[in-house]
Amino acid sequence: MTMHDIYLLSPELSLAGLATLVLLVDLIVKRKSYLFVLTIVGLAVPLGFTLALLGSLDGASMMENEGVLRDTLVVDKFGLFFKLLLISAVAIVSLLSIDYVKRFEQFQSEFLVLLMYSATGMMLMASTKELITIYIALELSALPVAALAAFMRDGRSAESGLKFLILSGISSALLLYGMVLVFGLTGSTQLDDIAERIATLAIYTDQPFGSYALLMGVVLMVAGFGFKITAFPFQMWAPDVYEGAPTPVTAFLSVASKAAGFAVILRVFYSAFGIEELSIEWSAIFAVLAALSMTIGNLVAIAQRSMKRLLAYSTIAHAGYIMVGLAAVSTRAGSGDSSLGISAVLFYLSGYAAMNLAVFSAVIAISNRINSDAISDFAGMARRAPYLSAVLAFGIVSLTGIPPTVGFIAKVYVFGAAVDAGLEWLVIIGVLNSVIAAYYYLRVIKLMYLSEPPSTDSIESGIPLRLAMLVTSAGVLLFGLYPTGLLNFVKSAAQALLSTS
Amino acid sequence: MEFEGNGLLTLVVFLPLAGALGIALFIKRDKQVRYIAGAVALAELILSVMVFTTYDLSKGGLQLVDRTSQWIPIESFKVEYYLGVDGLSTPLVLLTGLLGFAAVYASWSIKTRVREYFVWLLVLQTAVMGVFTSLDFILFFLMWELEMIPMFFLISIWGSGRREYSAMKFLIFTFLGSAFMLVGILALFYSTGTFDMILLPDAIAQTELIAPAGIIFGLIFTAFAVKLPVWPVHTWLPDAHTDAPTAVSIMLAGVLLKMGGYGMIRVSAGMFPEVIVDAAIVLAALGVVNVIYGAIITIRQTDLKRLVAYSSISHMGYVLIGISSVAGVGGLVSPTGLTGAAMQMFTHGTITGLMFLVVGLTYEKVHTRSIPELGGLSARMPVIAVAFLIAGLASLGLPGTSGFVSEILIFLGAFPVYGWFTGVAVFGVVLTAGYILWMAQRTMFGPTIDRFSNVRDASRMEMVPIAVLIGSIILVGIYPSFVSDMFRDGVAGIVADIQRSGALAMVLP
């Protein structure tokens, strides 16, 4: 490991270092809120390293992408895009937690530290090129989350943590089994080598994926990753875990964990199984899963009474929309722009991060004060907390996909990619789903703006939450009105992925 | 960023939005909110008149273009900021200015949550103006969707009766329609590589579409059909109208329905000349159902607003019949029917706008909309009664009012093509005369009722929008060509395209 390797890994290393630093400083300081300041300011270091790497990728000093540690890790624009997204998500979630963690008597710093360790794992997930490293990064990201989910130490939260731990274990087992099959068939754990071997394998045209072994391997890997992105039918854990976990952790799970899951899926499927014959087959799997996730998520969301459960089902539905972009594989792009599907996924993930975090900030700000997650307790909220309600309503409008928000552009873009790939049927299911979603999303808005409030006490929120809401809703509006900058960035990230593979 | 154009249309579209933002952020007192909204609406009316007078009919074509290609300049998702008007859209911009003005002044007596109300009303006007002037399909779609949220709030907060149900029903229907339209728009883009609504007709004719043209046509048409509304997707309209506040009914009937008709002419007929010719007979049949079914249901209504709402369904049927005349006779397409359809949109906008305005004023004064409880009001409120009668007579197509011009054009255009359908539809005029006169007789005339003895007539402020709308009804009735020439010029290109594609079909075996 040379100095240069350390530089290439600096975002992950500095984030893990920051986490350890926070843990140590916790032993000295009395006022725990300093730790949050340290975290949020300290996040500038990994952010700075990521931007520096991005800058040197654009310059001539480095190749388009560079392998680290015998090519198990890779630094390219695709990975760096996710690192930026994840660091931003951690920063926002830390802001959300400042008020929230006051209810914990102790372990306030550990909350932050676990969050950052998990994010380190997720950042590694976005840049791995080797199956075993993927597995390790995945575990690194999942185990802290299990502890975080159980953080409240009441019945609900403990159930949430345990459920996450067990189901995450099962999904890891499935994933490993899938990896073993792929390794057995190709004799390598390197994604590039796997792609090469698969190309030389005798393809039995009468068997899906050329051979049943590969089919089993791919399906098991989809199952393992599907857990991460809450795709149907691997979504059962999400509502219970989301409901029981501390709300900032729920926000982190629904945004960061999902983004990292999609990063791995894109990397594995485009690098290892990117050839045309295979990509058509796995795109069909994702298309079906997308249709089911959207439909089941939206239909079940209608009946929810708890805000957190509603958001859990909505996150399942949004996983479905994002998978529409996954199904729009590059080899089927009719317009000749092969990066369209990938960049649609990346754009949706960034937009989803902004809008979902905006919604969660407002929900946390409100439910901190009223001590309830029940949707009915949000009645008349517009009169008790006009600004919080406006942010929540704006985020929900964006989740529905109505302009002038990033949700609208993201929806149009992802459906556009699918139409381009010849998946009109999937797009029709998608747009019908957005109508179903409009019903339950707008019911929340209706409740906040039309119903009589049970009490007229106004609801105040602290500066950190206000800051989080300002940043996220500015993102929702800005990327909704002028998405070009972000679109260009995701496009170059998508092209980086295609050129790596 | 290079920007082409003089910015007049940009100002027209975004002035109400700017006003709304200004009110939302800086204005606290209700009185100030009203005056600022009123000033914005007046400025908007003046600007829309300016657009109308600036449009040079002798040159024709696309004018007042505001354009920059730097909005989303990505090759595989190239969206432009592109506004412009032609003969078809210019009068509709004027109509929106007129009714937006009327709507703001009809809202003077709103007492609850005044600030929010005017904010949403102005945002709504931006969205509708945007729909009529956008020439990039994604911008068009953005404006189309943007209109839903203000409407949802306006109906559900300031409405009456089952307002929350009606607002949700409106939203779900509209969203369902536009969802299908999105698929259609995307299919067109990924076939032709452009969202430019001016280039699209040719591009569609020259490229092989990724889905059959008939299916894409159907997807997009669904959105317009919901909006117009066409039977059987009309059911949201009576509910929304009945429960909406007066000003919102004016906007809904006056301009929002016209978005559907405008889309049908600009997109369905303009971009799919071959499909529309095949579908014309279906349109004619649906149009007749709209006219007759709408009229028969109207007769039975006892709620004034519901009555006007159903009469709108009936009148929008004429638009469909006018459009169906594009099928032509013996390979010859006449622009008369299409011009009539466009005219019907304009005239129905002003007439029904006035109608809802008067009904709203009546309700405000006597606190009931139930026809059996009303009677003899003309003695107490002569101005409102006269306005009511003028709107009614224009609605049934009395010569000298604008309603006559548009209906006669539609019948003249459609009769040679679908004689029987048109014949049945003409009978709708008789039904209209029936329900309008019967309603006027039951509410405004007859013996005076003591309960209404201290009912006041319209105030000066309320007379302003009434005068503006009556003026436009009479003006178009007496001198129709200043609007109809423009529409005729606007649809000429579409008719020529249909003619060409029809000729092509005859040459091919």
Which residue in B75, B176, B189 is closest to A416 by CB distance?
B189
Rounded to whole angstroms, how far apart are CA atoms A218 and B191?
A: 33
Which residues of chain B are within 8 Å of residue A434 when distances are taken between CB atoms? 175, 179
The reply to whether A500 falls in a domain is yes
Question: B152 contacts in A (CB within 8 Å)?
Answer: 442
Q: Is residue A245 part of a domain?
A: no
What pLDDT sits at residue B308? Answer: 87
CA closest to B78 among chain A residues: A484
> Which residues of chain A are modeled with pLDDT < 70?
1, 59-67, 202-205, 500-501
Has residue A212 been placed in a domain?
Answer: no
| A340 vs B contacts (CB less than 8 Å) | 76-77
Contacts of A183 (CB under 8 A, 6+ apart): A131, A189
Residue A459 CB neighbours (<10 A): 17
Q: Which DSSP string do the residues of A56-111 spell out, in sequence order?
A: HHHSSSS-SSEEETTTTEEE-HHHHHHHHHHHHHHHHHHHHHHHHGGGSSS-HHHH
Look-up of token digits 């000349």: B273
pLDDT at A414 (0 to 100): 92
d(CA B71, CA B80): 6
Class of residue B360 by CB neighbours under 10 A (exposed 0-12, middle 13-18, buried 19+): buried
What is the predicted pLDDT for the residue at B327?
77
pLDDT band at B507 (very low <50, low <70, confident <90, very high): very low
Alpha-carbon span B468 to B45, nearest angstrom: 11
The verdict on a CB contact (< 8 Å) between B190 and A419 is yes
A261 within a domain of the structure (yes/no): no
Instruction: Identify all chain A residues contacting B172, using CB atoms and an 8 Å cutoff.
Output: 435, 438-439
- Chain B CB within 8 Å of residue A386 CB: no
For B45-96, how does the pLDDT look when each residue is reduced to its tens digit (9 = 90+)?
999 998 888 888 888 788 888 888 878 777 778 888 888 888 888 999 999 9
Longest dimension (CA), chain A: 72
Using the Cβ of B209 and the Cβ atoms of chain A, whether some distance falls under 8 Å is answered with no
Average pLDDT, chain B: 86
Which residues are registered as beta bridge partners of B4? B67
Residue A425 within any structural domain of the chain: yes
The Cα B44–Cα B37 span in angstroms is 10
Restricting to A residues 480-499, those with a Cβ less than 8 Å away from any Cβ of B are 482-484, 487-488, 491
Interface of B with A in 437-456 (CB under 8 A): none
Handedness of CA B229, B234, B238, B241 (dihedral sign): negative
pLDDT of B282-319, one tens digit each?
888 999 999 999 898 888 888 888 888 888 898 999 99
Confidence band of B127 (pLDDT split at 50, 70, 90)? very high
Minimum CA–CA partner of B79 in chain A: A484
Q: What are the helix and strand counts (H, E) for chain A?
A: 22, 2
Mind telling me how many Å the CA of B176 is from chain A's nearest CA?
6
Residue A383 maps to a domain: yes
Share of chain B above pLDDT 90, in %: 11
B164–A424 C-beta distance less than 8 A: no
Domain count across chain A = 1
Residue A481 CA to residue A475 CA, distance in Å, equals 10
Q: Residues B335-392: pLDDT tens digits?
A: 888 899 999 999 999 999 998 888 888 888 888 888 888 777 777 888 888 888 889 8
Locate A66 and state its tokens.
Answer: 């560079």
pTM: 0.91
Residue A188 inside a domain? The answer is no
Instruction: Kindly identify which residue of chain B lies nearest to residue A451, measuring between CA atoms.
Output: B157
Q: Both tokens of residue A170? A: 């099962």
Domain membership of residue A327 (yes or no) is yes
Give mean pLDDT, residues B457-464. Answer: 79
Q: State the Cα angle at A348 between A342 and A349, rounded to 5°.
A: 90
DSSP state of B335: S
Q: How far is CA A226 from CA A172, A235, A263, A345, A351, in A?
A: 11, 8, 12, 15, 21
Tell me which residue range forms the domain holding A483: 294-501
**A-B interface: how many C-beta pairs under 8 angstroms?**
95
Q: Does A332 touch chain B (CB under 8 A)?
A: no
Q: What is the DSSP letter of B71?
A: E
Taking Cα atoms as reference points, which of A302, A493, A321, A488 lies closest to residue A410? A321
Residues in A touching B190 (Cβ below 8 Å): 334-335, 416, 419-420
> Is B506's pLDDT higher than 50?
no
Q: What pLDDT was estimated at residue A61?
A: 47
Nearest CA in chain B to A488: B74
Q: What CA–CA distance (Å, rounded) separates A387 from A393?
A: 10
- Is the per-residue pLDDT at B190 higher than 90? no
